[in-house]
Structure 1
Amino acid sequence: MIIIISGPPGSGKTSVASRLASQISFRFISAGSIFREIAKSMKLDIIDLNRLAETNFDIDKMVDNKIYEHIIKEKNLVIESHIAGWLFREYADIAVYLWASLKTRANRIAARDRISYDEAVSQIIKREYMHYRRFKKYYGIDINDLSVYDLVINTSYLTVDEIVKIILLYFSSVVSAKSDLLKKENTNDNVWPV
């Protein structure tokens, strides 16, 4: 099975996806880590690489291709990515979108990156604006349209473990429903219409 976890910066997607993958023994793939590796190799920070990606689609294609390689080669994945829910929905069994208020996300990023709250707000706004423009321009995707997601979770007041429990509850329901559907299809295949 493939589970996609998407969301804006600071929504908790990396923490949640990593913990979820660990709990269900799936491989964890992080688009954010891939993007950061590219930034490091080019001696750029995330904001500057996002700026460069606005005019150089090859950067996003590198990230997308690495994720796609995992999707076609591996079975049990949890993928963390801003855009995977839209790009790879047809391959995913479950797509989850995490979000939180700007204040919550800025506090999380400030603590994680050891920067001021104001700097975190500034980074979030810049990144989200760049993401919106870039994803619309290159993919034709409106990142405000969440209709491709099975679950949308406000992470503002929940712990990582609580969010993972919600996803696992949904996950087990999907697995059970698929199993029931397969049993029903196999039973119906053996019955001839009268």
Structure 2
Amino acid sequence: MVRIVISGPPGSGKTTQANIIAEHYHLKHFSAGRIFREVAKQRGLTIEELSVVALNDPSIDLEVDRRTYEAAREDNVVIDGHLAAWIVDDIVDFRIYVTAPLILRVLRIASRDGVPLEKALKETVTRENTQRRRFMEFYGIDVNDLSIFDLVINTKRIGIKETFEIIKKALENRL
């Protein structure tokens, strides 16, 4: 039985790595971001718009967090999400934080979502600022405090395969 969580800012590569880990180790994969996107779609909002609405409506984050925690209670699972590691900290075996400089993350997001760079930058900055405020206000969590993580990786100069090799080595040494 293993439970792994990956957190990090938008465009850092956390979902990509969660997919690779799930496939390599034959684990289930749960994405908190997918739930947030579903809620946004149900309400006819963009992710950024829902992030702003969530500043005054804690029920949005609470629903995503509840479902994330439920998923983390399953055996043999990898979970990814911005706040996921803090939410499931008490029941997971390994915590990974993946990051990259803002401009690189924005380039990745623009490419992934097929949006202009300026739009990706504006939306990413808005999203990160509102998330940071919500997490501090609702949970007292400083998303810049990475002390709970077992492994922190900056993907600025390493590719997807190299990032996974680092994660794999750390997991094999730890689990």
TM-score normalized with structure 1 length: 0.87
For structure 2, list consecutive stretches of 5 or more residues without a partner in the other structure: none
Distance 1:19 1:71 in 2: 18
* Deviation, structure 1 residue 131: 0.6
* Deviation, structure 1 residue 133: 0.4
Q: If you compute each CA radius of gyration, which structure gives the higher value, 1 or 2?
A: 1
Counterpart of 1:145 in structure 2 is: 145
Confirm or deny: 8 A CA contact 2:20 2:164 kept in the other structure. Answer: yes
The count of residues paired between Structure 1 and Structure 2 equals 174
Counterpart of 2:85 in structure 1 is: 85
Distance 1:169 1:62 in 2: 34
Counterpart of 1:105 in structure 2 is: 105
Distance 1:24 1:46 in 2: 31
Structure 1 window deviating more from structure 2 (35-44 vs 154-163): it is 154-163
| Alignment RMSD (CA, Å) | 0.9
Kindly provide the CA deviation profile for residues 73-131 of structure 1, in whole angstroms up to 9, marking residues without a partner as x.
x1111100101111211111110001101111011011011111121111111111001
Distance 1:132 1:67 in 2: 18
Counterpart of 1:21 in structure 2 is: 22
* Deviation, structure 1 residue 34: 0.7
The structure with the largest helix share of the pair is 1
Distance 1:114 1:88 in 2: 32
SS state at 1:144 partner: coil
Distance 2:109 2:55 in 1: 23
Distance 1:132 1:68 in 2: 20
Q: Which amino acid aligns with 1:13?
A: K
Distance 1:70 1:55 in 2: 26
SS state at 2:86 partner: helix
SS state at 1:91 partner: coil
Distance 1:14 1:71 in 2: 15
Q: Which amino acid aligns with 1:36?
A: R
Identity, % of aligned positions = 41
Counterpart of 1:31 in structure 2 is: 32
Q: Which amino acid aligns with 1:82?
A: H
Distance 1:96 1:50 in 2: 24
Distance 1:69 1:86 in 2: 14
Distance 1:64 1:132 in 2: 15
Distance 2:70 2:141 in 1: 22
Distance 2:84 2:72 in 1: 11
Distance 1:160 1:19 in 2: 9
Q: Which amino acid aligns with 1:60?
A: D
* Deviation, structure 1 residue 172: 0.6
Q: Which amino acid aligns with 2:93?
A: D
Counterpart of 1:75 in structure 2 is: 75
Counterpart of 1:3 in structure 2 is: 4
For structure 1, list consecutive stretches of 5 or more residues without a partner in the other structure: 176-194
TM-score normalized with structure 2 length: 0.96
